[in-house]
Amino acid sequence: MLTIRHAETRGRTRIDWLDGRHSFSFGGYHDPEHTHFRALRVINDDRVAPGGGFPRHPHRDMEIITYILSGALEHKDSTGGGEVIRPGDIQHMSAGKGVYHSEFNHSKTEPVRLLQIWIMPTERGITPVYQQTHFPEASRAGVLRLVASPDGRDGSMPINADALMFAAVLGAGQGAAHEIAPGRGVWIQVATGGVSVNGQALTEGDGLAVEDEAAVRLTGAADRSEVLLFDLA
């Protein structure tokens, strides 16, 4: 079964420095029909104005992944982690028993666009962890590249969740397939461009919940489409 979450139906937060779209309930946006998908709790598509950002604030017991689409984001946290992340960089933080962090647009002149992803953890109360890995576009071109997993297989980032996260950059007509084990479900998020999934057309910002399917096949429908796929228990 394929269920589309159309981009224009997402929640929205709009203030002077932030234009954020929420696939699931977040902050002041609550939709009882869209609170999470399995362990996937948050996908926020955030555009942060030059010089703007999220001041220091706390998190706990959540796996937080930041995926940069354009621009640069400066991160600092109480684990000592602090980096500027750019397209191709993926940042992961296990909030565990508690962490403070801040995120600001690194540029005073250019906006930054990012996907902020929260996944519910397998184990609670762990020591917080920060990590960042660069996945060149060539490694994601035409394939679903595993970028996060519970065991860090195939050069992916190890995370404290029963979830696999893949990233792909597809050209027009270019395809990639993913088999789904029994009992698991998949969420596909189109970050840019457009794709067809098992014949179902999706455009930028659309999400797709996949249940009770043996496999999905993604086919690019634009010159360049950037897509994330989450395989969840």
Mean pLDDT value across residues 206-224: 98
Q: Is the pLDDT of residue 81 over 80?
A: no
Q: Is the pLDDT of residue 198 over 80?
A: yes
Cβ neighbours for 15, distance < 8 A, ≥ 6 positions apart = none
- What confidence tens digit (pLDDT) does each residue in 131-152 have? 999 999 999 999 999 999 999 9
What percent of the chain is modeled with pLDDT above 90?
86
Domain that holds residue 21: 2-232
- Say how many residues make up the chain: 233
Higher pLDDT, 189 or 80: 189
State the pTM of this model.
0.96
**CATH classification of the domain holding 93:** 2.60.120.10
Burial (CB count <10 Å: 0-12, 13-18, 19+), residue 117: buried
Nearest to 141 by CA among 165, 170, 178, 167: 170
- Phi/psi for 138 (5° steps) reads -60, -30
CA distance 118 to 143: 23
Number of domains in the chain: 1
DSSP per residue, the chain: -EEEE-GGGSEEEE-SSEEEEESS-BTTB--TT-S-BTTEEEEEEEEE-TT-EEEEEEE-S-EEEEEEEES-EEEEETTS-EEEE-TTEEEEEE-TT-EEEEEEES-SSS-EEEEEEEE--SSSSPPPEEEEEE--HHHHBTS-EEEEESS-GGGPEE-SSSEEEEEEEE-TT-EEEEE--TT-EEEEEEEESEEEETTEEEETT-EEEE-S-SEEEEEE-SSSEEEEEEEE-
What was the pLDDT predicted at 82?
74
What percent of the chain is modeled with pLDDT above 70?
100
What was the pLDDT predicted at 113?
97
Buried (b) or exposed (e) across 84-97, using 16+ Cβ within 10 A?
ebebbbbbbbbbbe
Q: Is the pLDDT of residue 106 over 80?
A: yes
Mean pLDDT value across residues 146-168: 98
What was the pLDDT predicted at 89?
94
CA distance 224 to 141: 10
- What confidence tens digit (pLDDT) does each residue in 52-64 have? 888 787 889 999 9
Half-sphere exposure for 185 (CA within 13 Å, toward CB): 14
- Two tokens, residue 134: 């660069």
CA distance 217 to 199: 8
CA distance 15 to 12: 10
